[in-house]
């Protein structure tokens, strides 16, 4: 089974491996501050899905700190001046709040020569025309991706997880972003309570039929983390959690349904081990990825 991984996409485009720098914009989320809700999505931790990003630092300090963490994993054979990075604003909703401040922030981060692109995690109901226009201009200088947490196309599941917007809102944002020439990456959570494999494939098929074609997708294993409403739900009334082999089989099926040109940015995802309740097998990333690669190789035969 062949697919385009994010690593391959970046290496083909930039001629070398490109690394992500996890940064924070200082934003909150309308699903937390009372604009939509005060609870947030039921699976979201206090870190707003950005538990690995640096906090309490200005942008220059964050970039320096994130580079130190990443550079420890890079071979010393690659000179510092030749290393390339994508700036990734992951936690909470990174286009929500003071628009002028955020636009200055995004412009500033792309002024760093070693940063070749920008990836912004946000909600489809938090994208003003002004912000999209600004990102479109930045995209002419360096690559800009907008990441949208759709998770599912099923409204009953959307209500259960407290997503806070309808599918039509996603569709409107997708059109405005792609009309502006921006690349969109969509997040899908595999294993949400009450969703069957057929329900999940329905979501993948929906994404596969988007026009224009979807640039990228993140397949995210459902993690149950301490301190979330999902954890309360799981502990009071446990629901099915995928075993490793079962999850790998599901990912292979998802890949079969995606267009071959869609870049797969993620196959599973990480949850902070100190917060992880289930599935515990996901904490061993090396075993997970080795098993995943074998499953994909076997499915390709």
Q: Dump pLDDT digits (tens) for 135-165.
A: 999 999 999 999 999 999 999 999 999 999 9
- Does the pLDDT value for residue 220 go beyond 90? yes
Give the pLDDT score at 271.
83
Contact yes or no for 71/49 (Cβ under 8 A): no
Match 């309360």 to its residue by tokens: 232
Ramachandran sector of residue 208 (left: φ over 0; alpha: ψ -120 to 50; beta: rest): alpha
The model carries a pTM of 0.95
Which run of H or E residues covers position 233? helix 229-236
Contacts of 230 (CB under 8 A, 6+ apart): 42, 43, 161, 193, 224
Contact yes or no for 53/26 (Cβ under 8 A): no
Measure the CA–CA gap between 266 and 186, rounded to whole angstroms.
10
Give the pLDDT score at 79.
87
* Beta strands per DSSP E along the chain: 4-5, 18-23, 84-89, 115-122, 143-151, 183-190, 216-221, 224-225, 263-266, 276-278
Give the mean pLDDT of the chain: 94
pLDDT band, very low/low/confident/very high, at 50 (cuts 50, 70, 90): very low
CB count in 10 Å sphere of residue 192: 22
Q: Dump pLDDT digits (tens) for 238-285.
A: 999 999 999 999 999 999 999 999 999 999 988 899 999 999 999 999
Compute the average pLDDT of residues 272-300.
94
Tell me the domain boundaries of the chain: 4-300
Q: Dump pLDDT digits (tens) for 108-126.
A: 999 999 999 999 999 999 9
Measure the CA–CA gap between 263 and 259, rounded to whole angstroms.
9
The listed CATH number (1.10.286.10, 3.30.2130.10, 3.80.30.30, 3.40.50.300) that belongs to domain 4-300: 3.80.30.30
Compute the average pLDDT of residues 35-53.
77
């Amino acid at each position: 089974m062949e697919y385009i991984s994010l690593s391959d996409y970046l290496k083909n485009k930039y001629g070398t491996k490109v690394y992500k720098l996890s940064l924070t914009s200082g934003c909150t989320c309308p699903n937390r501050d009372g604009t939509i809700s005060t609870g947030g999505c039921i699976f979201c931790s206090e870190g707003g899905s950005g538990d690995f990003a640096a906090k309490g630092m200005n942008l220059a300090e964050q970039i320096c700190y994130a580079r130190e963490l990443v550079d420890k994993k890079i071979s010393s054979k690659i000179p510092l001046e030749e290393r390339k990075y994508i700036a990734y604003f992951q936690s909470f909703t990174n286009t929500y709040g003071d628009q002028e401040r955020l636009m200055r922030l995004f412009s500033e981060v792309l002024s760093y020569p070693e940063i070749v692109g920008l990836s912004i995690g946000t909600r489809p109901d938090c994208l003003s025309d002004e912000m999209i226009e600004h990102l479109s201009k930045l995209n002419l200088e360096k690559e800009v991706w907008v990441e949208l947490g759709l998770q599912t196309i099923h409204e009953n599941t959307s209500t259960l997880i407290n997503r806070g917007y309808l599918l039509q809102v996603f569709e409107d944002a997708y059109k405005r972003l792609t009309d502006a020439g921006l690349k969109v990456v969509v997040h899908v959570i595999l294993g949400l309570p009450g969703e069957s494999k057929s329900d999940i494939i329905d979501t993948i098929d929906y994404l596969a039929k988007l026009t224009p074609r979807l640039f990228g997708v993140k397949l995210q294993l459902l993690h149950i983390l301490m301190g979330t409403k999902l954890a309360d739900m799981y502990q009071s009334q446990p629901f099915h959690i995928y075993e490793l082999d079962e999850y790998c089989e599901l990912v292979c099926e998802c890949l079969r349904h995606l267009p071959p040109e869609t870049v797969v940015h993620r196959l599973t995802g990480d949850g902070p081990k100190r917060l992880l309740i289930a599935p515990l097998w996901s904490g061993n990333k090396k075993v997970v990825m080795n098993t995943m690669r074998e499953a994909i190789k076997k499915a390709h035969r």
